Amino acid sequence: MQSGKILVVDDEKDFCFFMKKYLVSKGYRVDIAYDGLQAAEILENERYDAVFFDCNMPELSGMELVSIISKKNPGARKVMISGYEGINEQFAEKLDVDVFLSKPFSLEQLEKMMNEI
């Protein structure tokens, strides 16, 4: 995906700010939600090329958000992000996630992943 619209969903505001700053510098339009419930509300009216989301969030987890993304924005690439032990690529695949990123990740890893989706 060379450009497009991305939703970043994470309860860590610093992480959201970092992701938005980086992705905007690469030419993407970026919206932010600080929990899964807010993301679900945004997905009612907006369409995205990709949704980056943390697995563990208040209100509505990333695991629950996956099905909402699939229903409300079926064309969006689902990118799960987590730093928790036990949440990995195999776990994400079972949830029908397109890409899994383990926190912390480098800008090089992020760049490579963005070129692949």
User: Is 73:53 a contact under the CB 8 Å cutoff?
Assistant: no
pLDDT of residue 92: 54
The model scores a pTM over 0.75: yes
Q: Is residue 9 part of a domain?
A: yes
Would 16 be classed as within a structural domain? yes
> Domain holding 34: CATH number?
3.40.50.2300
pLDDT at position 27, please? Answer: 92
For residue 95, is it within any domain?
A: yes
Residue 113 domain-assigned (yes or no): no
Task: Name the token pair of 61.
Answer: 């987890």
Q: Is residue 47 part of a domain?
A: yes
The domain of 39 spans: 5-108
In this prediction, residue 110 carries a pLDDT of: 82
With vertex at residue 99, the alpha carbon angle to CA 96 and CA 104, rounded to the nearest 5 degrees, is: 130
In a domain, 104, yes or no: yes
The count of structural domains within the chain is 1
From first to last of its 117 residues, the chain has per-residue pLDDT tens of 557 999 999 999 999 999 999 999 999 999 999 999 999 999 999 999 999 998 787 788 778 889 999 999 999 999 988 765 666 565 556 667 788 887 788 888 888 878 777
Looking at the domain assignment, is residue 84 inside a domain? yes
pLDDT at 1 (0 to 100): 53
What's the one-letter identity of residue 50? A
In a domain, 61, yes or no: yes
